[in-house]
Amino acid sequence: MSSEMMRKLFVLCLLAAVIPAAHAHPFHAEASGFPAGLAHPLGGLDHLLAMLAVGLWSAWAVPQQKFVLPLAFLTAMAGGATLALSGLTLPFVEPGIGVSVLVLGLLLAGLVRLPLAAGAGLVSVFALFHGVAHGAGLPEAASPYGYAAGFLLATGLLHLAGIAIGTRLAQQRTWWLRAIGTAMGLSGLWLLAGA
């Protein structure tokens, strides 16, 4: 990754920390099914940062098993969406999402490594909140299966992007990981202030 690209990524993360929180639910009535699900994680700062953070932190925290945390996240997120689609919900969904961005940012900023089971458990709890939000965002006319496929695909791609960036940075430039994590943590605080 070139230093110019790294500078742009850092500026993007810093901007994300100071831009007012974008809520991840702008696509409700306008779209349905797969396109709405695909757009949902990309349409809000809260989901976007959390998904990237899981990949970035995974690349640092468990480099030999870097796909385990994203897979745990995807599995628990699908479970949370299933809860929402069946009419059940969790309390404090939006604050839970904000906390996920804050905590994942802090873990990355501190270059914290947890045991694999603890890391998978932590991201799974966060994923439940994201899944409930995704499931609750389902437009009434949408196909639940298409919508779920869309947001799972987008989430997986964001995780992979985070893993790719994190793997590169973990090898040579851990200060970039710290800086990105700090910006994400600040964004989490901003999201919580608006929740």
What pLDDT does residue 23 have?
Answer: 40
Q: In the predicted model, what is the mean pLDDT of the chain?
A: 85
What pLDDT does residue 88 have?
Answer: 87
pLDDT digits (tens, 9 = 90+) for 23-81: 444 444 345 788 888 888 888 899 999 999 999 999 999 999 999 999 999 999 999 99
Count other C-beta atoms under 10 Å from residue 89's C-beta: 13
pLDDT digits (tens, 9 = 90+) for 125-177: 999 999 999 888 676 646 888 888 999 999 999 999 999 999 999 888 899 99
Rounded to two decimals, the pTM is 0.83
pLDDT category at 5 given cuts 50, 70, 90 is low
Q: Which SS3 state, helix, strand or coil, does residue 163 take?
A: helix
What pLDDT does residue 125 have?
Answer: 98
| The two three-digit tokens of residue 100, written as one number | 């996920």
Contacts of 118 (CB under 8 A, 6+ apart): none
* Angle ∠(21,22,26) on CA atoms, nearest 5: 160
What are the distances in angstroms from CA 183 to CA 6, 25, 26, 64, 115?
14, 23, 24, 26, 24
Can you give the three-state secondary structure of 28-65, one letter per residue?
A: CCCCCHHHHHHHHHHCCHHHHHHHHHHHHHHHHHCHHH
| The two three-digit tokens of residue 9, written as one number | 């990524």
